[in-house]
Amino acid sequence: MTATAAPHSIASLHSAFASRETSATAVVETCLARIAAEDPRIHAFLSVNREFAVAQAAHADALAAAGGPLPPLAGVPFGIKDVLTLEGFPATAGSRILEGYNPPYTATAVRKLADAGAVFLGKLNCDEFAMGSSNENSAYGPVHNPHALDRVPGGSSGGSAAAVAAGMAVATLGTDTGGSIRQPASFCGVVGVLPTYGRVSRYGLIAFASSLDRVGPFAANVRDAATVLGVIAGHDPMDATSSPLPVPDYTADLDRGVRSMKLGVPAEYFAEGLDPEVRASVEGAIEKLRVAGAEIVPISLPHTRYAIPAYYVIATAEASSNLARFDGVRYGLRAPQSDTLAAMYRRTRDLGFGAEVKRRILLGTYVLSHGYYDAYYRKAQQVRRLLTDDFLAAFRQVDAILTPTAPTPAFRIGEKSDDPVAMYLADIYTVTANLAGICGLSVPCGKSRDGLPIGLQILGRHFDESTIFRVGQAVESL
């Protein structure tokens, strides 16, 4: 068993640094030592920059020595998913086509962490261009689940989840296009947050599907996740889709409990295909919330069965468009020995992209092509509207919605590699929130007989992250 609790919470670190009980340098050295000891087996990190991290920690220690107020994340060790840019660090998106690329700018969410005093340990492994549900699609090798090294950590943000689960970082950033934060959080037994679309800037994110991508945090507990989201959320003039709505204090209502709250349980998420152990853990958590004073309300989200096909039409169509820029001309890999421009394009993309990325580009190009656009892409967008309407109707009845995060615990590495449809179905409970633009949270709610974590998903209204954190904190405390 490699998984361990994070060495500290953000609040405890903040207090310890302020009182000089410990130093940021000592905490960062502890994390770096754990990376050196554990990551050869887990492979969560694609790059580690010791010199940079120690220098940032020294700066936090200097602030603490000066005696003034510390920034909210001063000295807290973070890892960053490798689809987010950080100047001075490589950004590969888990792909050979970006091997050696060093971006000249930093993503807004990452910059906000830096402004809040965070320390960056390195960049984290992920499925290539965030396309995957197991982290087996990385061109640099799979990530292993710290709870069982023969199991996947989930994807695409598997490295981000595993780093927290193994105690190699206190918190991390990931991205979620169809479940890529929440499903790894469930598989690795940590907390993962899907913010409302537009709540966190996407500037500096290497895009997969621009109408679905979100940036969000992983942490060992709900309070830390809420703290990090409060730092990275907010309007950004560099992202036209970011919301101008003010950012509340997400930690303010964490301890209010769930008494008198109405929590919806959709029948469609507890149907055929749900693992019995997952069902038992999730239903057990729901029962504890009922005993704690919440009203459990049966609801229906009738268009859920269309979510996976609609998602894989929309997401692949947008991926086809976004990944057209990787052609060997401006940056990244360029195939050698190409006599013509067209040949160079073909060879570069053939050598640089992995099988899953090629599959999605081909599918997305097909559904956008002349004669098929209306039959597939337009129809999928109409289904997306129906799914959104389902949620809007449900939230007129309830304050939040409770579901399993994933239909099974973590599966074995290689178990689904040859069956793309089975792999896609691992996202059956998570893609709906991305399509509807709402927020979501995965919190641990139990373990299987084999000791594998199981997650409870809490879905909330647009820009109502405070409510899902409140419910998540109740689950954690129970």
Check residue 98 and report its DSSP letter.
G
Does the active-site annotation cover 320?
Answer: no
Close Cβ partners of 476 (under 8 Å, ≥ 6 residues apart) = 191, 221, 222, 443, 444
Residue 140's alpha-carbon distances to 101, 125, 126, 161, 419, in angstroms, are 15, 8, 9, 17, 21
Does the active-site annotation cover 379?
Answer: no
Out of 180, 186, 201, 448, pick the active-site residue.
Answer: 180
Calculate the dihedral angle through the C-alpha atoms of 41, 47, 51, 53, rounding to the nearest 10 degrees.
Answer: -80
- For residue 169 the two structure tokens come to 């970082």
Close Cβ partners of 8 (under 8 Å, ≥ 6 residues apart) = 16, 27, 170
* Strands (DSSP E) found in 68-205: 77-81, 119-124, 171-176, 191-194
Out of 81, 112, 123, 416, pick the active-site residue.
Answer: 81
d(CA 112, CA 203): 12
Out of 23, 95, 133, 156, pick the active-site residue.
Answer: 156
Does the active-site annotation cover 81?
Answer: yes
d(CA 160, CA 183): 12
Check residue 216 and report its DSSP letter.
E
d(CA 52, CA 31): 14
Task: Let me know: does 215 contact 205? Beta carbons within 8 Å.
Answer: yes
Cα 402 from chain centroid?
19
d(CA 98, CA 76): 29
Which residues are catalytic, by number? 81, 156, 180
